[in-house]
Amino acid sequence: MKKTSFPIRKIIKRDGSIAKYDRNRIEKAILKATTSVGKPNSKLARSITAEVEAALLHTYGAKSMPSVEDIQDVVENNLMQNRKTRIARNYIIYRHRRAMERAARLQSFEARDFIPYKLIYETLLWNMDHGCDSVQALNKLIEKKQFPDLVRATDRRYSEEVGSAASMILEGSKKTRIVIVSGPSSSGKTTTTIKVGEKLKKAGMRLRMINIDHYFFDLEMHPKDQFGDYDYEIPEALDLKLINQHLVQLLAGKTVRTPHYDFKTGKRRMDVHELKLAKNEILLIDSLHGLYKKMTQSVPDECKFRLYIETLGQMRSEDGTFVRWSDNRLLRRMIRDKDHRNLQPMQTLSHWHYVRSSELKNIIPYIGSADCVVNSALPYELPVLKPRLFRFFPGAIKKYTNDPHRLDAHIRAKRVYELLKSIKTVRDNSPIPSDSLLREFIGGSRYRY
């Protein structure tokens, strides 16, 4: 009988590039994991690989393009489901070691997504110096009543990075007309944009802000999956043509009327907000896809300053693996969506695969074009976010356990649940100042969002 080819043909690599799907890479990694616990087991490696392929089809569909990260998560989950605990553990170790080799040449820190190694290493050293490089260390710090000290130190570090970015903008201010603050979902772009603006104004610069979120097409115009969930995470979910048209007009000194998008209704109204940019003013843009070339292709590169922000956390969980930057941001977004976008936490959880897929294809490949990078990870935030979200994860795990179409949500829920379970809770938010970036998500900010 002729063997049919696997219908998923392409995958997304860690650098955002597209590669041909190769089942042999999965089988080889599993075989190495079996070898590490004794005798190599080719039959088991083939069997698990076949189950992984079936799970990928159920979860992502035949026409999908899963990421390397997605595939490895499914392999790990499948090994655990088959009670191959020791093999799973060694697969995780193998996976982590390969990541370290790729990114840091065996340094004991995690680097990814085109972020400069030096910045990641400095982040790890900062965490070590401040007793928050692991969940265990963070818990001890909380026990010793040193949580307020960590808040002050963390916010001071973040403020200094924002100040450095503002200084870079000022150095090139004669040519710069547009400052773009870009980064993945819930990285803290809005607060960072406001804070950069404060520092520039203090230096005597005049600014205007444009809200790119208002350029979303109506929700019903986006692709919809079998569950009724819309994919509005891609750059094309925005009216890129109108954005470029308005940017050209603004730089020419003309008045434009931007749209208004209502996230609760999913509808856009045209010609609502009047905006004009004087010759001595700089336009601030806060946008998920600010580095995406087509978004600002009408503006010469020398007129743009591009700031990229990401939660560059370097904290190890109890099992020694690093807390994922995307998991950190997921928690932030679950709160934001619930409070401001009429979405429940479980909806955000099940939607997150759209977020991560778009990041890999439409954000990460352009990080190299950024003029500077700011770290928005707050080592003190997980103990604060835990009491707001922890209760949702057991229900999510139970709900998605036997749903092959929601395997990604099940894996993610289990991982985040185990992380939060190991972290001590902080319910007193009084040490967190009103201008903290975290206030963008938990409320109580002095800024208007």
117 band by pLDDT with thresholds 50, 70 and 90: confident
Q: Tell me what pLDDT residue 301 has.
A: 93
Beta bridge partners of 309: 374
Q: Tell me what pLDDT residue 217 has.
A: 96
Q: Tell me what pLDDT residue 144 has.
A: 97
96 band by pLDDT with thresholds 50, 70 and 90: low
Reported pTM: 0.82
The burial of 204, by beta-carbon neighbours within 10 Å (0-12 exposed, 13-18 middle, 19 or more buried), is given as: exposed
**Mean pLDDT value across residues 278-286:** 94
What percentage of the chain has pLDDT greater than the value 70? 93
- Average pLDDT of the chain? 89
371 band by pLDDT with thresholds 50, 70 and 90: very high
Q: Tell me what pLDDT residue 18 has.
A: 83
State the alpha helices, DSSP H only, in 117-202.
117-129, 135-143, 147-171, 189-202
pLDDT(319) > 90? no
Span 201-225, pLDDT tens digits: 999 999 999 999 999 999 988 877 7
pLDDT(98) > 80? no
Q: Find the range with the poorest average confidence among 40-44, 122-126, 324-328, 415-419.
A: 40-44
pLDDT(347) > 50? yes
What percentage of the chain has pLDDT greater than the value 90? 61
pLDDT(56) > 60? yes
Q: What are the boundaries of each domain within the chain?
A: 10-104, 117-442
Read off the DSSP letter of residue 322: B
For residue 374, give the 3-state DSSP assignment: strand
Query: What is the Cα–Cα distance from 221 to 264, expressed in whole angstroms?
Result: 15
Query: What is the Cα–Cα distance from 327 to 393, expressed in whole angstroms?
Result: 13
**Mean pLDDT value across residues 404-419:** 93
SS (H, E, C) 70-128: HHHHHHHHHHHHCCCHHHHHHHHHHHHHHHHHHHHCCCCCCCCCCCCHHHHHHHHHHHH
What are 343's two structure tokens?
């979405």
Please name the residues in contact with 325: beta carbons below 8 A apart, sequence gap of 6 or more.
112, 113, 310, 311, 312, 313, 377
| CATH architecture for the domain at 117-442 | 3-Layer(aba) Sandwich (3.40)
12 band by pLDDT with thresholds 50, 70 and 90: confident
More confident site: 436 or 35: 436
pLDDT(104) > 70? no
What are 199's two structure tokens?
């520092």
Query: What is the Cα–Cα distance from 102 to 118, expressed in whole angstroms?
Result: 15
pLDDT(97) > 70? no
Q: Please say whether the beta carbons of 274 and 326 come within 8 A.
A: no
Residue carrying the six token digits 């409070």: 339
**Mean pLDDT value across residues 338-349:** 90
More confident site: 142 or 227: 142
93 band by pLDDT with thresholds 50, 70 and 90: low
What are 237's two structure tokens?
């979910």
| Residues present in the chain in total | 449
Q: Tell me what pLDDT residue 352 has.
A: 94
